[in-house]
Amino acid sequence: MRQAFPVTQLRPGPHDVSSILADLTADHVDREFLGNVELHLPRLHDLFVQLYGDRADGFESLASVVDLARRSWAARPADLKAVDRGRASDPDWFADERMVGGVCYVDRYAGGLSGIRDAIPYFRELGLTYLHLMPLFESPEGNSDGGYAVSSYRRVDPKLGTMQELAELATELRRAGISLVVDFIFNHTSNEHRWAKKAIAGDAGYEDFYLIFPDREMPDAYEQTTREIFPDDHPGSFVQLDDGRWIWATFYHFQWDLNYANPAVFEAMTGEMLFLANQGVEILRMDAVAFIWKRLGTTCESLPEAHLLLQAFNAVLRMAAPGLLFKSEAIVHPDEVVSYISPEECQISYNPLQMALTWEALATRDARLLQQALERRHALPPGTAWVNYVRSHDDIGWTFADEDAAELGIDGYPHRRFLNDFYVGRAPGSFARGVPFQENPRTGDARVTGTTASLAGIEAGDAGGEDRVVLAHALALSTGGIPLLYLGDEVAQLNDYGYADRPEEAGDSRWVHRPFRPEGAYAERTDATTPAGRVFSRLTRLIDVRRSTPEFAGNELVAFDARVSSVVAFLRPGDHGFAVFVVANVADTAVEIDALTLSGLAPEALDIVTSHPVWLGAGLTVPAHGVRWLRVR
């Protein structure tokens, strides 16, 4: 599928790679940088050929991008260069069993950046090594899609703090063993970004930063094949400007998609990316990667050029800030999710399939789809890792593959309908208190929102609620990669229905699961008579065990057929023939895995959560919504 332009189409003479290298050498750039460029410029050049080879300005842009990298490296603080070197000598650092992630909103969780700094002792107590601060950049007043409409990548929202404070926070977090993660929202800017303002003012250089059309002809043509992402906000993929023209806006009407077919856009965003890298950010969460390239007659999602662009950004980083990682945010078909994951593209990625199927299994009390996914869709290339999570700040979408479901006799469309109904409490017997998100009556499409505790049954007072919260986290903590905790979920925070009374949030039900820091629940976290206290002690025990269990490092997983449909089971192999055997039962009654099924394992096992020996010789009982972590051989 990849379109390769012949190299001869690129301008010869002064604008080739060897001339760029010669210029750098003449400029006496340091050897380390030169080495990085020698390693990665050929790849970047090749990507530019494929992306921009037919454009006259393609090569000037490549030279400018390398120059940005040179200047960024020169300005990169010494302690960050030390991090770069450390990562180079320990390239699998992010796959360590001690990795544990947390995510929160700066304002809601801590009031501001200084509050986040004050929370560092708590993060350490939890064992976090990775902290994703939700978008904290300058963005429009009122609805800014939770900060995903960025007006400046170089200014922090003044209500939260300053860029200087963010850089200092990054340093303090690093001293505490925590890597700072922020979003790189590069598919779109807000309509208040300087580029956007210039574009609509008719500044020719900037008009081409976005996709603006004089009338409906092209928008209509594109919308034949594009998907509606936020249909509650506007139909289709375009919105109308005041002057009557139409502009591409995949998400909210104030989030305008950038036109990456223009190399000047790549160059400009490179500048913003390198700026963030030099503030001490260690992982960039690459937002909405599927949407970054558009072509008429396609879905305009996950096109080959989207990958080339990510690889090009990656190559620039390897030159100027080589310690950084990209995390892919592609909440799409599982085949597409993995297509973004490689050392040359995004080294880590959300695992939306495991997330969604964990909830699917809890609703159906049938773990077969989840088991099948672990069996066939878990493996990743070396040098990469999943980020496993129970829920995020976004909705839950049922992104399993219909063809996988069909093999188990499950029909995708009605199954998604059932899951949506179940999680918004419309299905009889549901324990969940979720809220629908972006229900599209035209397509029948819908997604679900709600906090972990509210979706799992704690809010409804269901007897299995706490167990389900623990079970879901136990899977995220044990399948491999980086487990990611939505902060507040460790104390079983409930839905915040107050969003419906806040005008800028009322139209977006994702706010129901982005509560303010649950002070009451945190106060109860050592009180075992409360759900907060019980969930907190069980989850922190699991986190502690994970951190001292080398089998949980990396991504190697061997699915284990327990021959019980409500059971998900797998082995995480370790050294000397040992492995950790993870078994979880989503049913509301205890189940028995018989001795014959377990006969491949030595009968003497150790429960690493309770530290008690377990005898497998007579089979294994797994309690209702229970989970066991057993060291076996």
Residues making contact with ligand OTU (CB under 6 A) = 145-146, 148, 185, 229, 251, 287-288, 290, 329-332, 393-395
Angle CA 537–542–546, to nearest 5:
150
Among residues 288 and 367, whose Cβ is nearest to ligand OTU?
Answer: 288
Q: Is 287 a catalytic residue?
A: yes
Distances (CA, A) of 616 to 595, 599, 608: 7, 8, 15
Among residues 331 and 492, whose Cβ is nearest to ligand OTU?
Answer: 331
Structure tokens at 181: 């993660």
Q: Which of 207, 301, 329, 508 is catalytic?
A: 329
Total length of the chain: 633
Among residues 119 and 288, whose Cβ is nearest to ligand OTU?
Answer: 288
Q: What CA–CA distance (Å, rounded) separates 629 from 605?
A: 10
Q: What CA–CA distance (Å, rounded) separates 412 from 405?
A: 6
Q: Which of 97, 207, 233, 287 is catalytic?
A: 287
Contacts of 219 (CB under 8 A, 6+ apart): 213, 236, 237, 238, 246
Structure tokens at 572: 């995480």
Sheet strand arrangement including 246-248: 212-213, 246-248, 238-240
For the four alpha carbons of 90, 95, 96 and 98, in that order, the dihedral sign comes to: positive
Shortest Cβ distance from residue 507 to ligand OTU (Å)?
13
Q: What CA–CA distance (Å, rounded) separates 573 from 553?
A: 10
Shortest Cβ distance from residue 150 to ligand OTU (Å)?
9
Shortest Cβ distance from residue 256 to ligand OTU (Å)?
11
Among residues 321 and 476, whose Cβ is nearest to ligand OTU?
Answer: 476
Structure tokens at 106: 């700066």
Name 435's bridge partners.
449
Shortest Cβ distance from residue 164 to ligand OTU (Å)?
26
Contact between 17 and 43 under an 8 Å Cβ cutoff? The reply is no
Shortest Cβ distance from residue 177 to ligand OTU (Å)?
26
Angle CA 506–511–514, to nearest 5:
155
Sheet strands (E) in 482-561: 482-486, 558-559
Among residues 464 and 488, whose Cβ is nearest to ligand OTU?
Answer: 488
Shortest Cβ distance from residue 70 to ligand OTU (Å)?
31
Contact between 254 and 266 under an 8 Å Cβ cutoff? The reply is no
Contact between 183 and 248 under an 8 Å Cβ cutoff? The reply is no
Q: What CA–CA distance (Å, rounded) separates 188 from 460?
A: 39
Among residues 273 and 492, whose Cβ is nearest to ligand OTU?
Answer: 273
Among residues 152 and 540, whose Cβ is nearest to ligand OTU?
Answer: 152
Among residues 231 and 271, whose Cβ is nearest to ligand OTU?
Answer: 231
Among residues 272 and 329, whose Cβ is nearest to ligand OTU?
Answer: 329
Contact between 242 and 316 under an 8 Å Cβ cutoff? The reply is no
Shortest Cβ distance from residue 330 to ligand OTU (Å)?
5
Contact between 286 and 310 under an 8 Å Cβ cutoff? The reply is yes
Among residues 137 and 246, whose Cβ is nearest to ligand OTU?
Answer: 137
Structure tokens at 592: 């028995």
Q: What are phi and psi of 570, to 5 degrees?
A: -160, 165
Q: What CA–CA distance (Å, rounded) separates 165 from 337?
A: 34
Cβ burial, residue 464 (10 Å; 0-12/13-18/19+): buried
Among residues 329 and 496, whose Cβ is nearest to ligand OTU?
Answer: 329
Q: What CA–CA distance (Å, rounded) separates 338 from 333?
A: 9
**If you write DSSP's letter for every residue of 564-623 in order, what string do you get?**
-TTEEEEEEE-STT-EEEEEEE-SSS-EEE-TTTTTTS-SEEEETTT--EEE-TT-EEE-
Shortest Cβ distance from residue 438 to ligand OTU (Å)?
7
Counting DSSP H helices and E strands in the chain, the numbers are 23, 25
Cβ burial, residue 322 (10 Å; 0-12/13-18/19+): buried
* Residues designated catalytic: 287, 329
